[in-house]
Amino acid sequence: MPDVFADLVGQDEAVGTLRRAAAAAAAVLRHSAERTLVPAGTVDGGTPADGVAPAADPGAGMTHAWIFTGPPGSGRSVAARAFAAALQCAYGTGCGECPGCHTTTAGTHADVRLVVPEGLSIGVGEMRALVLRAASTPSGGRWQVVIIEDADRLTEAAGNALLKAIEEPPPRTVFLLCAPSTHPDDVSVTIRSRCRVVPLRQPSPAAVAEVLVRRDGVAPDVAQWAAAAAQGHVGRARRLARDPEARKRRDAVLAVPRRLTAVGAAFDAASALIEAAEAEAEASVAEADAAERAALETALGAGGTGRGAAGAIRGSAGQLKELEKRQKSRATRAQRDALDRALVDLAGFYRDALTMALRAPVVPVHTDTAEVAAAAAQKWDAEGALRRLEAVLACRTAIEANVKPRIAVEAMMLALWKG
């Protein structure tokens, strides 16, 4: 059975760093067990008695706070979860076979807490509750691990609550943050300065294709196509290889350049792109929304016939409203994620046109639309292809800055039509 780092594609340097840190953490635990009678302070050359080396020491094998950075699809959350499993591993290696590895990768380990923002941000209330729980002693005797996916979505107040915990970490608590970069706009400088950064790179199509074949049983030719089309995004490559609906949505996006024949057609294309993203987002959250609402209504007494049941239902309006608010925020995020995937595909097409106009010796991203991109390159030339590519990238930036998606997409479509 492969170890917990097997699914971290094309990240040999990062895996080496994490393996060494996990081994150091295991050694600290062994040392702590052997030196339980040593007074509080330090053990062996200055390591704190709680076993966590200070974050300020860049050469330390193990520290209490980490940031995993890298482009979308590079495996930030995969790396964080794999590292958490290695920390909980009975052998300190991330063997993939012991109960610590199994429960961590399955998401059921009592000492591993995962924060995945369902909405557009992570609020201070959620972060304070998490920090409070993280201060408890590990039930398994190893480490209390907190994984925060999309740490760039922390509100300022939530970031301050997390900062306090990182500045004064509880014994044997490790914080693992995932973010696109360590830019101050993504993660505050004060948090970043107290963490060890693990940069991840965009994996090569060959590495992505290999893992699709080995782990998911995808045919080699399909795996190679999906890996190239996904531009190094492992999760998206898996969806393209296994989900016919995902391939249909991609085909519709790549048909956009041929549809931009007039101003009206540009607005129609914008509407179609927005509506497709909305439909995809609605489908992705519908089941979870229905299950959450049913569970809440049952907890509040729905269907009950006893005394007070009707009054309980009437008094539940506030909780149902709060649930609807969270679900709306989650749907908005799902819509933006779906739209961003479409924009990445569209950017890939214009990138192909640009490289063909420049006669660059590189493999196209979208091999199935290479002929269309070549024809477009002859029509637009390199400068025209570059302007169109920049328009797509500007649309992504605008949406990240909270411009209404419809406005941003309509402006992009007009820029693509004008060239």
Structural domains for the chain:
12-199 (3.40.50.300), 263-304+315-418 (no CATH)
Q: Are 142 and 111 in contact (CB under 8 A)?
A: yes
Q: Which of 95, 106, 93, 113 is nearest to 170 (CA)?
A: 113
**What tokens were used for 315?**
């008094």
Helix (H), strand (E) at residue 168: none
Cα–Cα distance measured from residue 175 to residue 67, given in angstroms and rounded to the nearest whole number:
8
Per-residue pLDDT of the chain (419 residues; tens, 9 = 90+): 578 998 888 898 999 999 999 999 998 888 877 765 444 344 333 444 344 433 333 334 789 999 999 887 788 999 999 999 999 999 888 999 999 999 999 889 999 998 887 767 888 888 888 888 888 888 877 999 999 988 888 888 998 999 988 988 888 899 999 988 766 667 888 898 899 999 998 888 888 898 899 888 999 999 999 988 888 788 888 888 988 888 888 888 999 999 999 999 999 999 999 988 888 777 766 767 677 677 767 776 655 555 555 555 555 667 777 767 777 777 777 788 889 889 989 999 999 999 999 999 988 889 889 999 999 999 999 999 999 999 999 999 999 888 999 999 999 999 999 98
- Residue in 52, 11, 71, 69 with CA at minimum distance from that of residue 192: 69
Predicted TM-score (pTM) of this structure: 0.72
Neighbours of 325 (CB within 10 A): 11
Residue 13 backbone phi and psi in degrees, to 5: -65, -45
Sequence-separated (6 or more) residues with CB below 8 Å from residue 236: 73, 230, 341
Beta strands 47-48; 42-43: pairing state: antiparallel
Query: Which of 212, 161, 215, 219 shows the shortest CA–CA distance to 190?
Result: 161
3-state secondary structure of 97: coil
- Return d(Cα 194, Cα 56) in angstroms, integer: 6
